[in-house]
Amino acid sequence: MPGPAAHAATKPAADRPGRVLLAPVTITPTKPLTPSHLKFLLWSDVMYRATALLTECAYRYSHTTYHLTEQTLGFWAYLDHTRGDSDYEDLSEEQIGELYVAYRQDPHRPTADELRPYADAVEHQGWVHPVSVRVLRWWTAHFSRLGLHDPGLLAHQPPGMDLDEVLEHLGALDVLLDLRGHGGPVYLDLTRWGLPLRPIVGADGRPNYLACALRELLPLAPEYDEVVLVYDPELGPDYRLLERTLAIAGAGTRRFAIGRVPIDGVVRSARQGGWQGHAADALLAAADGHEPEAVRLGMRLYFIAVLGPGTQQSFRHDLLEQCLRRAARLLATASDGLTREEMATEIGRHRRDHLFVHPYRLTSALLARRRPAPPATSLLREVYL
């Protein structure tokens, strides 16, 4: 069946081979954007924009699909139970994040029956809880200031398959173990490939994140030559299962992991807190003395080229400030000497055996001491600004 529309770049020339679908993990709108989130978004943005200069590239990032996860629906139910009919318009991102931390620390978890009305409203009415609407509006403003491609943060973008269709499709692929008839869960069964059984629907009927990802990607993936799954290494086991399942369904799939950013030497999930003073609004406020384009480029230099793909370096305000100043110098010396074909050649060096452009290799080249010439203004504007 046809998949949902993904946000695609301007259609390239007919002689550009290969169609790419970029599918990053979707950050649930329940907390502020932390340094780890910013790193993930900036890497994905550069990958998307650079790849789109070489071939047709779509960017699929749907909050609608993942609102059904327990961490989002549960947070909404928790707020309604503890705060009633509250107005969230006066709360900052950090204040909402504190509420999310409190929810994750609460030993009570809403039951399937308690969450069912929320899930039905999301599925059938496109409803979003006011607290997440508030968060998504904040994020839209951050995306605008950072020059990030907006894949439809506030849009209703349902997946192309409902849960029953996905389970039927997985059954036809012979990778499903369905124990609902015995009061049990539904498993994704890839054991013949040496991978573990993984529940995707609980005995109470609730789908998890992996089930939501399959609803999103199973109908979309066959339309593309390369599907790039961009994810957090902590989700590695699930993404190996997702990659294998899409391959069985006939899709050419690649995994691309981006490590989190430690704060004071510790890598934490946003649910644990520790991001206070380091969230996107605070970092952007600290950059107020710089020109908008220097902020956009400098953030990318720091989170991509300086921090790299791993988790070795803790976040440092001083190094971010150095990158903002370095970005201003690069912008001041940039030249306009590249034709579009030459720019494509420059970018294409960072693809190797895959269709997508590797953000770290491309961005590190901007900072190379032996770079033969200043970066081209056209390349900076197309990919980084």
Say yes or no: 74 and 117 in one domain.
yes
Neighbours of 269 (CB within 10 A): 16
Say yes or no: 134 and 104 in one domain.
yes
Segment holding 229, helix H or strand E: strand 226-231
Which tens digit of pLDDT belongs to each residue from 6-49?
554 434 434 446 899 999 999 999 999 999 999 999 999 999 99
Say yes or no: 202 and 309 in one domain.
no
Domain range for 335 is 276-383
Say yes or no: 222 and 304 in one domain.
no
Closest CA to 248 of 195, 291, 286: 195
Say yes or no: 222 and 299 in one domain.
no
Say yes or no: 247 and 282 in one domain.
no
Q: Which residues are CB-contacts of 259 (< 8 A; sequence separation ≥ 6)?
A: 232, 233, 309, 310, 311
pTM metric for this prediction:
0.91
Q: What would the mean pLDDT of 66-88 be, rounded to a whole number?
A: 91
Say yes or no: 167 and 300 in one domain.
no
Say yes or no: 77 and 223 in one domain.
yes
pLDDT > 70: what percent of the chain?
Answer: 92
Which tens digit of pLDDT belongs to each residue from 219-250?
999 999 999 999 999 999 999 999 999 999 99
Which amino acid appears at position 289 of this protein? Answer: G
Task: Count Cα atoms within 13 angstroms, Cβ side, for 256.
Answer: 25
- The DSSP secondary-structure symbol of 197 reads -
> What local confidence, expressed as pLDDT, does residue 276 receive?
73
Per-position DSSP letters for 283-307, written without gaps between them: HHHHTTTS-HHHHHHHHHIIIIIIT
Q: Residue 353 — very low, low, confident or very high, per pLDDT cuts 50/70/90?
A: confident
55 in a domain, yes or no? yes
Write the CATH number for 220.
3.40.50.620
188 in a domain, yes or no? yes
282 in a domain, yes or no? yes
Q: What are phi and psi of 106, to 5 degrees?
A: -75, 125
Per-position DSSP letters for 33-84, written without gaps between them: --HHHHHHHHHHHHHHHHHHTTSEEEE---HHHHTTSHHHHHHHHHHHHHH-
262 in a domain, yes or no? no
Q: Which of 224, 257, 290 is the C-terminal boundary of a domain? A: 257
User: Per residue in 245-257, is it b (16+ CB within 10 Å) or e — as a string?
Assistant: bbeebebbbeebe
Q: Which of 228, 257, 286 is the C-terminal boundary of a domain? A: 257
Say yes or no: 178 and 52 in one domain.
yes
2 in a domain, yes or no? no
Say yes or no: 252 and 331 in one domain.
no
Q: What would the mean pLDDT of 276-287 be, rounded to a whole number?
A: 88
86 in a domain, yes or no? yes
- Number of structural domains found in the chain: 2
Say yes or no: 246 and 360 in one domain.
no
34 in a domain, yes or no? yes
Say yes or no: 130 and 177 in one domain.
yes
> What local confidence, expressed as pLDDT, does residue 379 receive?
85
Q: What would the mean pLDDT of 261-277 be, rounded to a whole number?
A: 73
206 in a domain, yes or no? yes
